Structure formats: structure tokens, C-alpha cells
Structure 1
Amino acid sequence: MLVEAVHGHRCELGESPRWDAARGELVWTDVPAGRVHRAGWDGRRLDAGTVAEYPGPVPLCLPGVVVAVGPTLWWLDPVAAVELPVPPGHRCNDGGLDRRGRLLVGSMAGDAAAGQGALWSVEPGSAPRRLIGAATVPNGLCFSPDGGLLYWVDSGPRTLSVFEYDQGTGELGRRRARWRLGDGAAKPDGMAADPDGMLWIALWDGGRVVRVDPATGATLATVELPADKPTACCFGGPGRDVLFVTTAARGSDDPRAGLVYAVRL
């Protein structure tokens, strides 16, 4: 597998990569800077692109759907704001959409205090519903190919949980499995699902992305990166055969940290 940096901007905390198929562009955020980056892909590199700035940390952007700014979710079409009922100093974190268009999004304390986070289900025009409490850093979130299972990472305890998920009601069922991932300082962060239902999970402070079988917790493949803090990943490109990985420059003088990488699978 070929791994190379494909965009020159260093993010303090690059996050939330999403492929916008309609525009052939990658979208990602720099959380503390309040920036959303958007850049076209020519098959080899991302272009200079554009930057939108927001008045607060932006941990999540789903192109054309929602942008999270601090504890507020801004739905884009139609424009509407939903405030998560969280204490002062808390903010949104990673999230994703189910097949019915519900947003499942995490919240966390600004200092990542243990047990202060939660996972929410949010629909425009309705009050947010808390699905899980006592989390720490709610992170990567994906669904099984049939939508009946929810895969969810809490970076605090380094766990990947597998829940049954009712697509009709948006309620969680029983937890089928809970796997602990990472070693040493490495913690699971954002993730993406491939067509086979396997999960590609960025390991913060681990310098790698791993392909994990959610049924067994086994690591099936490893992609080593030049940056120590990969944060999240997504599949993109016309054939969805490129894995884009965001990273963080936080705490590092290495010029390779904070860049966006492409892994050609």
C-alpha cells in the first residue's frame, strides 16, 4: 500500500474527513481553529481548496448536512440549530448518520474528563435523545452494511462497542461485544467501514490505521503512517478505493504531523 501526504496544510487537530461524491472533494476540519477545509482530488493530490471559518471548535462536518460548532449542531438544509443539553465547557465530537438520516453524535468535556461524555441521537425539529451516558471521548461511529449494528469507539477506555440498532426507532439494543484496542499510548479514534463490513480505525499516538473485524476484535491489516497522531479516516476517490487519513500536529514539531494522507489500497 502506498501512503503519501496529499495536502500541504498542517492542522493542529485535523478531523472528520468525509468524501463529497457529488463534487469530487474531500472535506475535513481543524477542530480548535474552527475551520472546515474542502479540496478537490485529481487522483494524486488534493488541490489548495477552500476554507470556511466558524466561531468555535468544529469537530464534525457532514457535507451538505450538518456542521458541529462547540455544543451546537447547525443543520444546513434547511438551516436550523440544535443545542445539545450539555454542561458549559462541553462540545460535540465525532458522529454519523443512520439510514433514516438521524445524526448520532458524541459529546465530551473540554478537558476530556472521564465519564462526562455521552452519545446522542438528533433529528431536526426534535429534542436530542441521550443513548449512552458516562462516556469519556465518544469517537468513531459506523454502521454495519445492513444498518442493524452500530459500531462505536470511546477513546477514553480504548474500546470498540458493537450494539444492535433499530433503524425504525433509532434505539440501541443489547451490546453484542466490547473490544479493547490499541497498545502502549495508542488509542482508537475515528473510523470508517469498508464494503466487507470491516472497520478501519485510526490509532491516536499509535502512528497507524488498523483494519479490524468487529465480530472478533481481531486486527486484519495495519497501515503505518509518518505522523504519530492519526485522528480519523474515510474512503474516497471516484472508485472509493483511496483511504484518506487526517492527523494532528498538536504537540509535535514534525512537519509531517497534521497533514492529510492518502492510502492507495
Structure 2
Amino acid sequence: MCDLQCVYHDRAQLGEGVFWSQNEQKVFWIDIEGQRVCRFDPESGENESVFVGQQVGTVVENAAGGLVVGLKDGVYALEFETGALHKWCDPMNGCRDNRLNDGKAGPDGRFYVGSMGPEGKQSLFCIDNDTTSIRTLEDQVTCSNGLAWSLDQGTLYYIDSPQRLVWAYDFDREAGTISNRRVVVDVRGEDCVPDGMTIDSEGKLWVAFWEGWGVRRYDPDTGTLLQEIKLPVARVTSCAFGGKDLDTLYITTASIGFEDADWKREPQAGGLFSVEPGVKGVPSFLFKALG
């Protein structure tokens, strides 16, 4: 296992949404409050960003080229090189109090994304491959967050952060539906909050913990904590495996609301970190539009 590194010290306000592009061999991630989609090259150490003009909750790769982003007012196609945006749909029907949060492309090529806002009555949505059809998979969510699919693609793991639970659902790949919700990881009673999530090649879950100073590896079959990697920052937000061999875990962090005393305590907050945890990940799924 290699030492933890801050590979890009960005001071992002709310780093999130990290994934590895197999096509580009680069790390994509976002700064929600900075309204940026970023692309980090681990070979050169260069980080590029495009400003999208509103809060951005997630980014995934489009099989047809470009990216798909969940912004405050809906789902868009994004051309990273030019910054051009094309709106597809708005799952929240114009509600200005809410915004889209964490999301991922599924093994079926659909886009799964949730919402968050002050009301606490949020949802998990599925955007179908025609880019405009929207289905609500779960409602009465508090703050929709991390998603991951089991290796056999028959289970969706999902986090509603304030509940401090990781749920599992039976996942129907053909229909893009979920059922039979149950708890697989329970951290109620702890001060930290589960945030973003990924899965490794052994079927174990990696969960980033807000105010938890790190990421943790869990066995979803038993709920057992298997491993913990500590970071020098408290607000750890998301994680994803990348690198040529998918053996590097990239981790995003946040510095939102920081004052001088906070920066003295956590000078690397908002940075993009990496570590080789001793296990490999699996490739990210792509959104696959019809036609």
C-alpha cells in the first residue's frame, strides 16, 4: 500500500463526484459550490476546469462523447473542451429550492441521480436512455447521495446521508427499477455522515465520510468494517478507483465554510487525494443515449 497523497491541492469548496475515464485515462471530479467540472491528469499533475454557471451535483461520461452533468436546474450534456451545455430534462420540475446531487450511470446505461434541498423531501430519479423520460425510484429521501452496483449488477447500493445508512435494493437491469430495500451498513450514532461511495473488484463498498476524516471499506453482506484510510481533512466527500490498473483510489474533499483557524488545522482541505489501498476497482459505467 502506497502512502496517501494530495495529488492536487485545489481548495475546492465542495469537491465531489469523482470518477475515472477509461477513454481519457484521467480523473473527472466537480466542485459543487465552485460551479466547476474538473479534469485531472495523473501523469502531468495538470488540472483543467470548466465553469458551468450553477451548482453541479454530479458528472458521468457519455458513451457518445462528452459528459452528462446534474446541475441545479436539471440534467445537461456537457462538452468539456468548449463548455457548451445542452439541457435534457429537469427531474425537479423547476423547484428552485432543490438541486441535483450525487448520481452515476448504471450498468444499463441509464442515468441515476438524486436531489437535495431544505425541505428534506427529496427523490432518487432514473433518466432513461432517450435523455428526457424521468422516473422516480425513491421519494421521501432526506439527502440523496452515494450509489454503487454489485459486481453481478443485481443490487443497487444507495446512501441517504442524514439517515446514516447504506441501503441495498434488488436492481432490475432491463427495467431500470429497484425493490426490496434493506440496510447493509448502519453507522447511526456516529458523528460522521456517509457521503459518496464506490465498489471494488471484491464486491466491497468504499464509503467517504463527511466529518469522518477518511474513507471506510465495508462488507455489504455482513455490514462489517474491514478497513479505514484516514485523511488529514474532516470533510471527505467521494471516492472512485482509477489509474491504468484501477488500483488507485481517488478521494475528493471539501473546505466550504472555512475560516483562518480551519485552514490552519486542515491546510489540504478541498484537495484531491489518492492512495493505493491494496485492492482494485471496477470501471465506471457510461450513459448510453438512444440513437
How many residues get paired? 259
Deviation at 1:216, TM superposition (A): 1.4
SS of the residue 1:59 aligns to: strand
Distance in 2 separating the partners of 1:54 and 1:139: 21
Q: Where does residue 95 of structure 1 map in the other structure?
A: 103
Deviation at 1:76, TM superposition (A): 4.7
Q: Where does residue 225 of structure 1 map in the other structure?
A: 231
Q: Where does residue 195 of structure 1 map in the other structure?
A: 201
How does the TM-score come out when normalised to structure 1? 0.92
Q: Where does residue 90 of structure 2 map in the other structure?
A: 83
Q: Where in structure 2 are the equivalents of 1:1-265 lying within 5 Å?
A: 1=1, 2-42=3-43, 47-63=45-61, 64-76=66-78, 79-86=86-93, 87-109=95-117, 111=118, 113-114=119-120, 116-123=121-128, 124-181=130-187, 184-252=190-258, 253=263, 254-265=266-277
Distance in 2 separating the partners of 1:191 and 1:182: 17
Deviation at 1:88, TM superposition (A): 2.1
Q: Which has the higher contact order (CA 8 A, sep 6+)?
A: 2
How does the TM-score come out when normalised to structure 2? 0.84
| Matching residue's letter, 1:38 | R
Deviation at 1:80, TM superposition (A): 4.7
Deviation at 1:249, TM superposition (A): 0.8
Q: Which moved more, 1:244-253 or 1:204-213?
A: 244-253
Contact 1:201 1:232 in 2 (8 A): yes
Distance in 1 separating the partners of 2:131 and 2:251: 33
Distance in 1 separating the partners of 2:73 and 2:162: 19
Contact 2:197 2:240 in 1 (8 A): yes
Contact 1:182 1:188 in 2 (8 A): no
The alpha-carbon distance between structure 1 residues 185 and 177, as it changes in their structure 2 partners (threshold 3 A), is closer
| 1:75-96 Cα deviation digits (max 9, x unpaired) | 3599552111343211101011
Listed as ranges, the gaps of 5+ residues in structure 1 are none
| 1:192-239 Cα deviation digits (max 9, x unpaired) | 100111110001000010001111111110001111011000000101
